[in-house]
Chains A and B, each alone.
Chain A
Amino acid sequence: INPDIASERQTASFSVEKLMAWLDGSAEHTRIRRAVVEAIECDPVFSRENQYFQSQNERYEEAVKKAVHLQKKMQEMGWTENGPEYKYIYRALAGDVAFLLHRVFMRSISMLGSDKQVAKWIPLATQYQLIGSYAQTELGHGTYLQGLETTAVFDITTQEFILNTPKISAMKWWPGDMGRSATHTVAFAQLYIHGKCYGVHPFIVQIRSLQDHSLCPGITAGDIGPKMSFEHADNGFLMLQNVRIPRENMLSKFCEVQPDGTYVRWGSQKINYFTMTSVRISLISDEVITPVMKACTIAIRYSVVRRQSKLKPGEQEAKILDYQTQQEKLLPQLAAAYAFHLISNYLQELFDRGYREIQRKNFDMLPELHAFSSGFKAIITQYCTSAVEICLRACGGHGYSLLSGLPSLYTKILASCIYEGENTILLLQTARFLIKCFMAASAGQPVPPSVTYLAAVKPGKCPAKNKLDFLSPDIYMEAYRHTAARLVSSTAAKLQDLTQSGVKKHDAWNQCTVQLARAAKAHCHYITVKNFAEAVVKIETQAGIQKIMKHLCDLFALHGIFSNAGIFLHDGYISGTQMDMVTASYLDLLPVIRKDAVPLVDAFDFTDKSLNSALGSYDGQVYQRLYEWAQKSPTNTQMSPAYERYLKPLLHKKLSKL
C-alpha cells in the first residue's frame, strides 16, 4: 500500500465499517452486497479489464454474453428477481450488460398490463423466451409524448391494431436493446378508433422472428450508430409498415378497446406515464449516485497520491488534496453524493407508498409523485453530471485517460440529463405543480405536506450574528426555505401580472420559464438540505458518524449558498456581511472534512474491479498500474499498418508526390 494513502486511513475520525452499514441500511445488507460483488467479480466472464480497448461491436457482444451468463449465474447462486441480492447485481456489473430495457419492458407490462396480459407475457419474458424493449421516443419527438406520430388504428373486422410509421420523424429512435437484440417491444402509438384519436397508448409488438431472429414482415429496425458512450447498448430504430397485432396486445390495466370498438378507461390518462415516473426514481440511485460516488472515490484517492509543487519551501511536494482550491473542487461533490444518496432513499419510500395506493386505484398522490420524480431527476442528474466532470478535471492530465475510469463515468452519466425526460422540461413540470400549490395554499386550500411552506411567505432577515451561526441547520434551512418560497411566489406574481395585463396564459408561461425553472430548482435544493439535516439528527450509530455527517451536511448547505449568493442576497434576507460569514464558515469546513476525505470515500466500498480505474485503486499504486495497463493497449500489442504504409515511405521519401 502506498504510504501516502495508508496514512490517510489511520486518522479517520469515525468507523468506516459502521458508516458503510448506515449507507447500506444495515450490516446485513453490507454482507449481502459484498457476497454478490464477490461472486460476480471472481467470474472471468464478467471481467471489465479490456473494456476500454474494445470496439462498439465487441462491447455489444460482451454485454450480450454477460447478460446471458448472468441468467446461469443467478440460478447457480439461487438469486431471484425478488431476493435481497438482486439490487446489488447491477451495481456489481457496473451497468455493462445487455437487456436493461428488457427489464423496463417487463416493468411496463406489470404496471400497465391487465392480469391476463401479465400472466401471458411475464413468464415468457422471465424465461427469456422473448427479449423485450420499450419504444417510446421517436426521431422527431422526445419528452413531449402527446406529439408522438406513430399510429395504431383499430380494425374492427379483424380485431387487430394496424401500426404505422407515417413519416420519417415518426420512426422510433433510441430504445435500448432494440437495434439488434429485441424480439418484442412495447411501442407507444396514437390510438385511432373509427377515425377518432384517443391519444398515446402502449402496444406489445413483435419485431423479430423467434426462430432465426430475422425482422418480421413490415418491420425495419437496426442500430442508430455510435454515441458518446453506451457502446455496449444497441440503441435502435424501428419503422412499422402496416404491422398488425391482435386487440389483446394493447396494455389494458387502465383502459381497453372492446371488440366493438368502444373505448373504456379506468382512472387517469396520466397513468400511462407511470412507468416513466418509476424509472426516473430508480435510475437516480443506479445510474447517478453510484457513478458520482465512484468519481469521488477515484479523484480523492488520486489527490492524496499525486504530489505537485511545494506548499512550503524545502519540504516535499505537497499532496494535491492539501490545496484549498482542490478541496473546494472535490469536497462539495463528496457532500453532494451523500446528500443525494439520502434524498434518493426518501424518494424511493415516497414512491413505494404512492405505488401501493395506485394499485388500489387511488390516484391522489400521482401529481406530487410526478412533480417530485421530475424535479429531483432533473437537479440530481444535472448536479451529479457536473460533479463527475469536476472530478475528471481535478485529476489533471491523467483524468483524460480512459484508464482513469472517469471519462466513461462522465459520458454515461451525462446521458441521464436527457433520457427519461429532458431536464428543463422536467423542471417546468415541477414548477407547474409548485405554482398550482402556491395558488391553492394562498387561497387557504389544503396542499401536500412537502409544499405547505409555500403558504407562509413573509419578508424577513436572517438572524445569524457570526460565522458559527451558519453551522446551525435551523439557520441555513430557513434561508433555503425562504429563498425557495420567495422565488415561487415572485414568479407566481409575475405570471399573474402578465395575464392581468392581457398577455395570453401560454405566452405568459413561456415568458416566465427561466424564472420557473429556477424556482423549481430552489425548491428541490431546499428539500434536499432539509432531508439531509433531518437524517443527521436521526443517526443512532455512534462512532463519530453523526459528527462527520453533520460536517458534510453543513458543507453541502453552505456550498449551495456560496455558489448561489445572488438569490439569497436579492431581497436582503442574507446581508453582504452575513454572506462573508457564510464564505468563511464554508472555507473553514474544507480542511476539517479534508482529514476524513479518504475514509469517507472508502465507506462507499467499491472494489478495485468495480472502479476499473488506474487512479482510484484502494492501495494507491497509481503510477505502476497506469504504466502496466497502458502496455496492454492494442496500440502497443498489435502491429499498426500505419508505419509500413505511410510513415516508412514518408521517412524514406517514397510517397508518390515527393
Chain B
Amino acid sequence: AAMTTMNPDLRRERAAATFQPELLTHILDGGAERTRRRKEIEALVINDPDFQHEDLNFLSRSQRYEQAIRKSSLMVMKLREYGIADPEEIYWFKSFVHRGRPEPLDLHLGMFLPTLLTQATPEQQDRFFMPAWNLEIIGTYAQTEMGHGTHLRGLETTATYDPATQEFILNSPTVTSIKWWPGGLGKTSNHAIVLAQLYTQGQCKGLHAFIVPIRQLGTHEPLPGITVGDIGPKFGYDEMDNGYLKMDNFRIPRENMLMKHAQVEPDGTYVKPVSDKLTYGTMVFIRSLIVGDSARCLSRACTIAIRYSAVRHQSELKPGEPEPQILDYQTQQYKLFPLLATAYAFHFVGAYIKDTYHRISGDINDGDLSELPELHALTAGLKAFTSWTANAGIEECRMACGGHGYSRCSGIPDIYVTFTPSCTYEGENTVMMLQTARFLVKSYIQVNSGQQVTGMVSYLNDLSRQRIQAQHVAARTVSVRINDPVSLVDAYKARAARLVEAAAKNLQAELNHRKSKEDAWNRTSVDLVRASEAHCHYVIVKLFTAKLSEVSNAAVRAVLTDLCLLYALYGISKNTGDFLQAGILSDGQITQVNQRVKELLAIIRPNAVALVDSFDFHDLHLGSVLGRYDGNVYENLFEWAKKSPLNKTQVHESFHKHLKPMQSKL
C-alpha cells in the first residue's frame, strides 16, 4: 500500500503551487500537441516488455553493453515498424529506450549515416547507404587519435594513394596516431569512416574521410592489417564500446574516399573542394544539441534533488518543532533554486539555437553562408558555458542530497558521468571559449575601425559612444533597476562590453610588447575566456527575458519571471567583482541584489516541486529512488539495496576464504 500512496509532503507541495505544471510542460515541449506526441512515444517504449531489464546499477560493464546492443537492435526495427522518422521523435524514442544513456549504435545513426548523406557521391550512396540503413554495415566515425583531439590538423593517420592499383594505403604510423575513443568502434562496428591525411603524387592534401571496412562480414573477425579493440573502462559510458583502431598498410579501393566535395582522380590528380565552410554546419548542429542536453541533464538532477529535499527532514529550525523539510533551509534553497532557474534558462537557449539553425540551414542550402560565422562562434561559446555550468550544477544537486546522493540509487552519479564528457567532446570547452573570443575580438576591431557590427555582438557598437561620454559612466550605474529583467539585460550587456574591451586592449598591449601574434594571444587567453563567458552569460539572460513576453498564461509568466530574475540576479551576486569594478553597480546595489536573491528564494519555494514536475520526466527515465514522483523514498531505498550483488548470499564467500582463516591464525 505504501507504494501506491503519495508521500504527504509531496502531496502538500503540489497542492500549494500557484500554476498548472502542464501548461509549463507545453511551453518546454513547444506546444500541447508536441507534449501529447512525446508522451505517446514514451508510452510505446515504457509499455513494451522487450525494453524491460534488470536495474543497470547491478550489472557489470559487459552485461550493460549486451543489454544496450539488444535494445538498440530492437529499437532500430521498432522505429521502422512504427514509422517514426522525424529526427526529434527518433531522439525521444531513443532516449526512452536507453533512458538517457549512450548506446553502441549512436555513432552509426548519428555520424556514419549522416556523413554518407552529406559527403558521399551518388555512386557511393548506392554502395553503402542502403546496406548501412539495413544494418548489414554498422559504421562509426573515427577522427580522434590517441595523441590528437581538438586540433584536427595535427592528426597523423595517413592515406597514401597508389595509382598502380588505384588504392589508398592506410597507415597508423605512430602510437599516438592510433584512433582512440570512437564509440561503437571497439566491438560493434564492421566499418568506419576514417579521417586521414591524404597523400597523392608525393604531396599532403590535408584531412579527408575514407570508408574503411574493419571486420569480416559474417565472422566479425578483424580484417588482416586491422587491429581493433575496446579502450577499457571509463568514467561512465559503460554501455559504449569506445574503441581503438590501428591500420598497417591496409588497402581500400579509390572509390572508398568520400568524394562529393574533394576528389582524387585515377591518375592521382587531386581536385579541391569548393568551400570548406560547409563542415561548420554539422558542428553547429551537434553543439546545439549539447546545449539542449545541458538543460535536460540539469533538469533531471534538479528534479531528483528538489523532490528529495521536500521529503527529507533534518535538524530543527525552530526549537521544539518537528524536523523541517530540508527544502526550508535557506542554504538548501540557495543551492538548488538558482540551478532550477538555470535549467529553464538553458532550455530556452537550446530551443533558440535549434530554431536559428533550422532557419539558416535553409539559407546554407541556397549557398548563403553569411550568418554562419556568428552562429558558429555563438554555439561554440554556449556549448562550453552551458556544459560547464550544468556539469557543476549536477554535482551540486548530488551533494544537496547528502549521503544518499552518492549512492547509485539516487541516479545522479549516472547523470553526471554520462554528461560530464560533453565538456570535452565536440570541442574542448576552453578551446571553444577561445573560438568565441576570436569572433568577439574581431568584431571589436571592426567597431574600432568605424564599421558597425550586427547580431548578438551589436552592443559593441555602443562602446565608442560611451568613450566620448566617459564622465557619464557614474550616471549609468544608478539606472539599473534590479527588479526589471530588461534592465538587468543591459547590466549584463555592459559587463560583456567592458570585458571584451579589456581583453582586446590587453591583447593589443601584448602585441605592442612582443613580436609574435600567437604569444600575445596566449598571454591574454585567461582574459579572453572571461570575455567569452560574459558574452554568453549576456546572451542567456537576454534570451530568457525575451521568452517571458511570449508566455500567455499569467500564472506561468509570473513564475517564469521569478526564475528569470533569480537567474540574472544570482549571476550578478556570483560575479560581483565584474559589476563593481566596471562601475555598473554600486556597493549599495550589490547589497540589494544579494538581499533580493534571498527574497526570491522564499518566493519560489512554494512552487519548487511543481516547477520540477513541469519537466515531466517519467520515473523510469529519471532512474532515481530519491526522485520518485510519489516520494516514497526510504522503503524503496531498502528494497533496492537488497538486490545488491554483495547481498546475493547471507554470508559472503570472503568470510570463508579470508576472514575465518585469519581469525584462527592470529
Query: Contacts A52-B232, A222-B642, A653-B134 hold; do A65 and B407 have CB atoms under 8 A apart?
Result: no
Give the segment of B3-11, B174-182, B206-214, B340-348 that binds chain A: B174-182
Give the segment of A18-26, A363-371, A410-418, A468-476 that binds chain B: A410-418
Task: Tell me if A128 is interfacial: C-beta within 8 Å of chain B.
Answer: yes
Q: What distance in Å separates the Cβ of A601 from its nearest Cβ neighbour in chain B?
A: 21
CA gap between A210 and B664 in the complex, in Å: 11
Asked if B518 and A308 make an inter-chain contact with CB atoms under 8 angstroms apart, the answer reads: no
Taken residue by residue from 309 to 341, chain B's Cβ proximity to chain A (1 for < 8 Å, 0 otherwise) reads as 000111111110001000011111011000000
Asked if A417 and B399 make an inter-chain contact with CB atoms under 8 angstroms apart, the answer reads: yes
Residues of B within 8 A of A393 (CB): 420, 423-424, 429
Asked if A223 and B188 make an inter-chain contact with CB atoms under 8 angstroms apart, the answer reads: no
Nearest A-chain residue to B433, judged by Cβ: A325
Asked if B318 and A506 make an inter-chain contact with CB atoms under 8 angstroms apart, the answer reads: yes
Task: Tell me if B85 is interfacial: C-beta within 8 Å of chain A.
Answer: no
Q: What distance in Å separates the Cβ of B109 from its nearest Cβ neighbour in chain A?
A: 13
Asked if B583 and A576 make an inter-chain contact with CB atoms under 8 angstroms apart, the answer reads: yes
Query: Contacts A226-B58, A630-B230 hold; do A140 and B312 have CB atoms under 8 A apart?
Result: yes
Which residue of A65, A403, A580, A641 contacts B658 across the interface (Cβ within 8 Å)? A65
Which residue of A131, A418, A633, A645 contacts B406 across the interface (Cβ within 8 Å)? A418
Task: Tell me if A445 is interfacial: C-beta within 8 Å of chain B.
Answer: no
CA gap between A226 and B518 in the complex, in Å: 48
Contacting residues of chain A (230-253) with chain B, CB-CB under 8 angstroms: 234, 237
Asked if A633 and B330 make an inter-chain contact with CB atoms under 8 angstroms apart, the answer reads: no
Residues of B within 8 A of A137 (CB): 403
Taken residue by residue from 303 to 330, chain A's Cβ proximity to chain B (1 for < 8 Å, 0 otherwise) reads as 0001111111100010000111110110
Asked if A174 and B658 make an inter-chain contact with CB atoms under 8 angstroms apart, the answer reads: no
| A169, A396, A419 pick with most chain B CB within 10 angstroms | A396
Which residue of A68, A514, A623, A653 contacts B175 across the interface (Cβ within 8 Å)? A623
Asked if B526 and A587 make an inter-chain contact with CB atoms under 8 angstroms apart, the answer reads: yes
CA gap between A241 and B524 in the complex, in Å: 66
Residues of B within 8 A of A567 (CB): 576
Residues of A within 8 A of B666 (CB): 71, 127-129
Task: Tell me if A10 is interfacial: C-beta within 8 Å of chain B.
Answer: no
Which residue of A397, A414, A572 contacts B425 across the interface (Cβ within 8 Å)? A397
Residues of A within 8 A of B579 (CB): 566
Asked if A646 and B69 make an inter-chain contact with CB atoms under 8 angstroms apart, the answer reads: yes
Chain A-chain B contacts (Cβ-Cβ < 8 Å), number? 370
CA gap between A417 and B396 in the complex, in Å: 11
Taken residue by residue from 571 to 585, chain B's Cβ proximity to chain A (1 for < 8 Å, 0 otherwise) reads as 001011111111100
Task: Tell me if A589 is interfacial: C-beta within 8 Å of chain B.
Answer: no
CA gap between A292 and B380 in the complex, in Å: 30
Contacting residues of chain A (199-231) with chain B, CB-CB under 8 angstroms: 210, 212-215, 222-228
Asked if B330 and A514 make an inter-chain contact with CB atoms under 8 angstroms apart, the answer reads: yes
Number of interface residues of B (CB under 8 A): 133
Asked if B150 and A227 make an inter-chain contact with CB atoms under 8 angstroms apart, the answer reads: no
Query: Contacts A60-B646, A68-B659, A311-B519 hold; do A317 and B149 have CB atoms under 8 A apart?
Result: no
Asked if A213 and B655 make an inter-chain contact with CB atoms under 8 angstroms apart, the answer reads: yes
Main secondary structure of the interface of B (DSSP, over half): helix
Task: Tell me if A565 is interfacial: C-beta within 8 Å of chain B.
Answer: yes
Query: Contacts A55-B60, A225-B407, A312-B519 hold; do A647 and B230 have CB atoms under 8 A apart?
Result: no
Contacting residues of chain B (144-168) with chain A, CB-CB under 8 angstroms: 144, 146-151, 154
Contacting residues of chain B (625-666) with chain A, CB-CB under 8 angstroms: 634-635, 637-638, 640-647, 650-655, 657-663, 666
Asked if B634 and A634 make an inter-chain contact with CB atoms under 8 angstroms apart, the answer reads: no
Task: Tell me if A462 is interfacial: C-beta within 8 Å of chain B.
Answer: no
Task: Tell me if A120 is interfacial: C-beta within 8 Å of chain B.
Answer: no
CA gap between A326 and B233 in the complex, in Å: 26
Task: Tell me if B408 is interfacial: C-beta within 8 Å of chain A.
Answer: yes
Contacting residues of chain A (337-365) with chain B, CB-CB under 8 angstroms: none
Task: Tell me if B187 is interfacial: C-beta within 8 Å of chain A.
Answer: yes
Contacting residues of chain A (146-161) with chain B, CB-CB under 8 angstroms: 146-147
Residues of A within 8 A of B525 (CB): 323-325
Residues of A within 8 A of B395 (CB): 389, 414
Query: Contacts A131-B659, A223-B644 hold; do A407 and B234 have CB atoms under 8 A apart?
Result: yes
CA gap between A14 and B81 in the complex, in Å: 70
Query: Contacts A228-B413, A630-B244, A641-B66 hold; do A510 and B329 have CB atoms under 8 A apart?
Result: yes
Query: Contacts A142-B403, A635-B62 hold; do A325 and B526 have CB atoms under 8 A apart?
Result: yes
CA gap between A68 and B638 in the complex, in Å: 30
Asked if B146 and A627 make an inter-chain contact with CB atoms under 8 angstroms apart, the answer reads: yes
Which residue of A55, A142, A397 contacts B402 across the interface (Cβ within 8 Å)? A142
Which residue of B138, B234, B315 contacts A401 across the interface (Cβ within 8 Å)? B234
Query: Contacts A325-B430, A565-B578, A642-B65 hold; do A225 and B148 have CB atoms under 8 A apart?
Result: no
Asked if A422 and B312 make an inter-chain contact with CB atoms under 8 angstroms apart, the answer reads: no
Task: Tell me if B123 is interfacial: C-beta within 8 Å of chain A.
Answer: no
Task: Tell me if A198 is interfacial: C-beta within 8 Å of chain B.
Answer: no
Task: Tell me if B186 is interfacial: C-beta within 8 Å of chain A.
Answer: yes
Which residue of A128, A237, A402, A624 contacts B663 across the interface (Cβ within 8 Å)? A128
Asked if A399 and B424 make an inter-chain contact with CB atoms under 8 angstroms apart, the answer reads: yes
Residues of B within 8 A of A504 (CB): 318
Q: What distance in Å separates the Cβ of B44 from its nearest Cβ neighbour in chain A?
A: 15
CA gap between A131 and B229 in the complex, in Å: 43
Taken residue by residue from 278 to 317, chain A's Cβ proximity to chain B (1 for < 8 Å, 0 otherwise) reads as 0000000000000000000000000000111111110001
Asked if B645 and A631 make an inter-chain contact with CB atoms under 8 angstroms apart, the answer reads: no
Nearest B-chain residue to A308, judged by Cβ: B151
Asked if A311 and B518 make an inter-chain contact with CB atoms under 8 angstroms apart, the answer reads: yes
Q: What distance in Å separates the Cβ of B357 from its nearest Cβ neighbour in chain A?
A: 26
12 contacts between A and B (CB under 8 A): A142-B314, A144-B316, A227-B406, A307-B147, A317-B151, A397-B424, A401-B233, A572-B587, A636-B229, A640-B65, A642-B66, A643-B220
Q: Which 5 A-B residue pairings sit nearest by Cβ, starting from the closest?
A: A565-B577, A566-B576, A407-B235, A223-B646, A633-B232
